Amino acid sequence: MTCHFDSLDTRSDSLPQPFSRAGIVIALPVAFASAKRTGGVMHELTLCQRAAEIIEQQAQQLGARKVTGVWLEIGAFSCVERSALEFCFELACRDTRAEGCALHLSQQEAQCWCPQCQRNVQLLTTLVRRCPHCHSADLRIDANDSVQIKRLEIEQE
């Protein structure tokens, strides 16, 4: 039997009780690692180790035999490299219920508010932080810098 649990909330302090509602709510703020890029894969490894711990806790609470799929959303300003995250996730999940699970990654769009032209704007890249309409550099970033577990797929015992 395969069950799907979707995440809707982004508060890391609000882990729910199993089956308390239609979803597991888990977020992984980048703050538990360094939000600044220092080179190498240490940043991604730390994120993945914490993700594996949380996934294992949730799987145990839900009576899961195995985690078959994990959906992660990468914040537009998280400084996370996709390929490094994939590599580190596989390492971090060894000897857990999530070992060998399918990892699905999505990238949050770089969303900002431009007070100059009063528009919500989407940046094509996080490196160029100018309004595409009025070219103002005075943008308020609405996107976050976190990596969130959006969904788990499990096989129950």
Is 131 labeled as ligand-binding?
yes
Beta strands in the chain (DSSP E): 2-6, 64-74, 102-107, 110-114, 119-123, 140-141, 147-156
Longest Cα separation, the chain = 57
- Residue 43 class from Cβ within 10 Å (0-12 exposed, 13-18 middle, 19+ buried)? buried
Is 4 labeled as ligand-binding?
no
Is 48 labeled as ligand-binding?
no
Task: Decide if 113 contacts 120 (C-beta within 8 A).
Answer: yes
The alpha carbon of residue 42 and the mean position of all alpha carbons in its chain are separated, in whole angstroms, by: 17
Angle at 126 between CA 124 and CA 81, to 5 degrees: 110
Is 79 labeled as ligand-binding?
no
Is 101 labeled as ligand-binding?
no
Going by the annotation, the residues of the binding site for Ni(2+) are 43
Going by the annotation, the residues of the binding site are 43, 114, 117, 131, 134
Going by the annotation, the residues of the binding site for Zn(2+) are 114, 117, 131, 134
